[in-house]
């Protein structure tokens, strides 16, 4: 299996061309993604502007060139337009709404593929996104963070959360709860995110199945917990729209 860099996968999937100034005279390592390039590959000198602050994220620190695929993902337009996306050999797809995100979490594409969630206005995530080869355990580049999702655990956790929401809704006036948490936030910086409602622990003293569901939810990774914010709110299950390559009428 030959490994493909996240940038090359993205640019090829998008149907775009690498951006370069010349062909590499020798094989080397890209300063950004850290993947090797071959003699003859499109490259350009790595000259970050003064606004560049991601030095700590460079995978190939110290190298003087970047490959043309990383350069092509570097443009402001590409970054702003495709900040929340899933990339596979089939193209670049939307991954922004609850429905879209839930779809990808539960129906990931065949590898190689990647999942990015920009959490700032302009953020360069593609060149550092982990390339996934599994549909069962995979990674999401969420801003600076990297989330891990085990697909079966997410599905099991969603079922447990739905059952706990029913239990937590017992005796309540008004609409049933959508989830059993004090807070369930899409942003990862919410302190109460993922905390179960305290009364569930009391109920679990008398009802063993409630305790079992609490254990399932407690065993979720932060990525799976984040996934619940989409899976529990998704209203339909449909393949998200492809953004690139654009369909030609
Ligand atoms: Zn690169």
Tens of pLDDT, residue by residue over 153-184, are 999 999 999 999 999 999 999 999 999 999 99
Per-residue pLDDT at 123: 81
For the chain, which residues score pLDDT lower than 70?
1, 248-249
Ligand 1 mean position, distance from CA 157 (Å): 36
Per-residue pLDDT at 57: 87
Handedness of CA 166, 221, 192, 99 (dihedral sign): negative
Ligand 1 mean position, distance from CA 244 (Å): 20
Ligand 1 mean position, distance from CA 29 (Å): 8
Assigned token pair, 153? 């655990």
Per-residue pLDDT at 249: 55
Nearest to 65 by CA among 101, 98, 36: 36
Ligand 1 mean position, distance from CA 170 (Å): 54
Pairing of strands 84-88, 114-117: antiparallel
Per-residue pLDDT at 221: 97
CA-to-CA dists, residue 47 to 52, 65, 90, 163, angstroms:
10, 8, 32, 54
**Which residues are in the CB-under-5-Å shell of ion ligand 1?**
7, 30, 32-33, 67, 70
Per-residue pLDDT at 22: 97
Ligand 1 mean position, distance from CA 72 (Å): 10
Ligand 1 mean position, distance from CA 86 (Å): 18
Per-residue pLDDT at 49: 80
Ligand 1 mean position, distance from CA 23 (Å): 14
Per-residue pLDDT at 134: 98
């Amino acid at each position: 299996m030959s490994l493909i860099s996240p940038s090359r996968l993205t640019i090829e999937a998008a149907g775009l061309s690498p951006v370069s100034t010349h062909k590499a005279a020798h094989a080397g390592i890209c300063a950004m993604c850290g993947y090797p390039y071959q003699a003859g590959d499109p490259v350009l000198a790595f000259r970050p502007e003064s606004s560049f602050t991601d030095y700590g994220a460079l995978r190939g620190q110290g190298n003087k060139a970047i490959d043309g695929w990383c350069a092509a993902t570097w443009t402001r337009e590409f970054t702003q337009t495709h900040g929340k996306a899933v990339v596979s050999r089939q193209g670049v797809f939307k991954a922004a709404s609850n429905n879209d995100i839930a779809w990808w979490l539960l129906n990931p594409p065949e590898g190689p593929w990647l999942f990015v969630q920009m959490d700032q206005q302009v953020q360069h995530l593609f060149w550092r996104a982990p390339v996934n080869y599994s549909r069962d355990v995979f990674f999401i580049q969420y801003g600076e963070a990297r989330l891990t999702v085990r697909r079966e655990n997410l599905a099991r956790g969603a079922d447990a959360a739905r059952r706990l929401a029913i239990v937590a809704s017992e005796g309540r006036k008004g609409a049933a709860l959508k989830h059993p948490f004090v807070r369930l936030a899409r942003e990862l910086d919410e302190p109460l995110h993922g905390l179960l409602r305290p009364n569930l622990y009391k109920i679990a003293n008398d009802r063993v199945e409630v305790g079992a569901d609490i254990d399932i939810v407690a065993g979720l990774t932060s990525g799976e917990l984040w996934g619940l914010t989409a899976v529990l709110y998704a209203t339909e299950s449909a393949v998200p729209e492809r953004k690139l390559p654009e369909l030609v009428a």
